[in-house]
Structure 1
Amino acid sequence: MAWNEPGGNGKDQDPWNSGGRRGGGGGNDQGPPDLDEALQKLQEKLNGIFGKSGGKGSGGSGSGPASSGGFLGVIALVLLIGWGVMGVYTVDQQERGVVLRLGKYYETVMPGLQWNPPLIDDVMTVNVTRVNAYDHRSLMLTEDENIVDVSLTVQYVIADPKAYKLKVRDPEVSLAHASESALRHTVGGSEMNSILTEGREILGTDVKTRLQSYMDAYQTGLRITQVNVKEAKAPSQVQDAFDDVIKAREDEQRSINESESYRNGIVPEARGIAQRMKEEANGYRERVVAQSEGDANRFVALLSEYKKAPEVTRERLYLDAMEAVYSNNSKVLVDVEGGNNMMYLPLDKLTEGRQRSDITGGSSRLSGNDLREITNQVVDQIRQRQQTNRREAR
Structure 2
Amino acid sequence: MAWNEPGNNGKDKDPWGSGGGGGRRGDDQGPPDIDELIKNLGKKFNGLFGGKGGSGSSGSGSGGGAGASAGLLGGLVVLAVVVWAAMGFYTVDEAERGVVLRFGELRDEVVMPGLRWNPPLIDDVQKVNVSRVNTRSYSNDMLTTDENIVTVSLSVQYIVQDPVQYVVRVRDPQSGLDQAVESAIRHVVGGTTMDRVLTQGRADVAAEVRERAQSYMENYQTGIMVTQVNVENAQPPVAVQGAFDDVIRAREDEQRVQNQALAYANRVIPEARGEAQRIIEQANAYRDEVVARAEGEAYRFEQLLTEYRVSPEVTRERIYIDAIQEVLRNSSKVLIDVEGGNNMMFLPLDRMMQQAGTGAMGNNVTSLQLNNQQLRELADQVSRELSAQSTTDRSRTQMPARGPR
Q: Secondary structure at the match of 2:151?
A: strand
Q: Which residue of 1 aligns with 2:346?
A: 345
Give distance in 2, aligned partners of 1:324 and 1:122: 123
SS of the aligned residue for 2:192 comes to coil
What secondary structure sits across from 2:231 in the alignment?
strand
AA in 1 matched with 2:97: R
Where does residue 208 of structure 1 map in the other structure? 210
Distance in 1 of aligned mates of 2:281 and 2:111? 86
The one-letter amino acid paired with 2:318 is R
Question: 1:58 & 1:149 partners in 2: Cα distance?
Answer: 90
1:160 paired to 2:162: yes
- TM-score of the pair, normalised by structure 2: 0.69
Between the aligned partners of 1:207 and 1:288, the Cα distance in structure 2 is: 74
Q: Pairwise mapping of residues 130-279 of structure 1 onto structure 2 (< 5 A)? A: 130-279=132-281
Q: Deviations over 1:168-211 (max 9, x none)?
A: 22111111111111001111111222221221111111101100
Which residue of structure 1 aligns with residue 81 of structure 2? Answer: 80
1:180/1:291 Cα in 2 relative to 1: closer, same or farther (>3 Å)?
Answer: same
CA distance in 2, matches of 1:293, 1:83: 122
Maintained 8 Å contact 2:100/2:107:
yes
Q: Give, in angstroms, the shift of residue 271 of structure 1.
A: 0.6
Distance 1:298 1:200, change over 3 A: same
Q: Distance in 2 between matches of 1:122 and 1:199?
A: 48
Other-structure match for 1:65: 66
- Is residue 2:309 matched to residue 1:307? yes
Deviation string 1:6-53 (CA, Å, 9 cap, x unpaired) is xxxxxxxxxxxxxxxxxxxxxxxxxxxxxxxxxxxxxxxxxxxx9xxx
Cα drift, residue 363 of structure 1: 7.0
Deviations 1:231-281 (A, max 9, x none): 112221111111111111111111111111111111111111111101101
Q: 1:238–1:325: structure 2 CA closer, same or farther, 3 Å change rule?
A: same
User: 1:115-168: CA deviations, max 9, x gaps?
Assistant: 111111111111111111110011111122222111110011111222222222
1-structure distance, mates of 2:281, 2:302: 31
1:313 Cα deviation after fit: 1.4
d(CA) in 1 for partners of 2:303 and 2:134?
A: 103
Aligned residue in 2 for 1:287? 289
Shift in Å, 1:344: 4.4
Q: Deviations over 1:333-385 (max 9, x none)?
A: 7999xx9x986422759xx9xxxxxxxxx974999xx99x97xx89x98xx99
Distance (Å, rounded) in 2 between the aligned partners of 1:157 and 1:119 = 30
The aligned counterpart of 2:94 is 93
CA 1:344–1:192 in structure 2 vs 1: closer, same or farther (change >3 Å)? farther
Q: Is the Cα–Cα contact under 8 Å of residues 327 and 365 in structure 1 kept in the other structure?
A: no
The one-letter amino acid paired with 2:104 is G
What secondary structure, in the 3-state scheme, does the structure 1 residue paired with 2:94 have?
coil
- State how far apart, in whole Å, the 2-side matches of 1:58 and 1:287 are: 152
Alpha-carbon distance in structure 1 between the residues aligned to 2:343 and 2:211: 110
1:346 counterpart SS class: strand
Match of 2:34 in 1: none
Which residue does the alignment assign to 2:6? none
Q: Which amino acid aligns with 2:316?
A: R
| Number of aligned positions between the proteins | 312
The answer to whether the 8 A contact 1:334-1:342 is kept is: no
SS of match in other structure, 2:331? coil
Kindly indicate whether the alpha-carbon contact (under 8 Å) linking 2:93 and 2:113 is maintained by their aligned counterparts in 1. yes
The 8 Å contact of residues 200 and 229 in structure 1, kept in 2 or not, is answered as: yes
**Structure 1 position 119 matched with structure 2 position 121:** yes
Distance 1:240 1:206, change over 3 A: same
8 Å Cα contact 2:337-2:345 kept in structure 1: no
Could you list the runs of 5+ residues in structure 2 that have no partner in the other structure?
Answer: 1-47, 49-57, 354-370, 398-405
Is contact 2:334-2:349 (8 Å) kept?
no
**RMSD of the TM alignment (CA)?**
3.5
2: distance between equivalents of 1:61 and 1:176? Answer: 69
What secondary structure is seen at the aligned counterpart in 1 of 2:175? Answer: helix
1:14 alignment partner in structure 2:
none
Paired AA for residue 72 in structure 2: F
- SS of residue paired to 1:62: helix
Shift of 1:331: 1.9
Q: Is the 8 A contact 1:327 1:366 kept in 2?
A: no
Amino acid at match of 1:136: Y
Shift of residue 321 of structure 1?
Answer: 2.2
Q: Counterparts of 2:60 and 2:95 in 1: how far apart (Å)?
A: 67
Deviation at 1:223, TM superposition (A): 0.9
SS in structure 1 of the partner of residue 132 of structure 2: coil
SS in 1 for 2:140: strand
Alpha-carbon distance between aligned partners in 2 of 1:312 and 1:147, rounded to the nearest angstrom: 105
Query: Using a 3 Å threshold, how does the CA distance of structure 1 residues 58 and 189 change in structure 2: closer, same or farther?
Result: closer
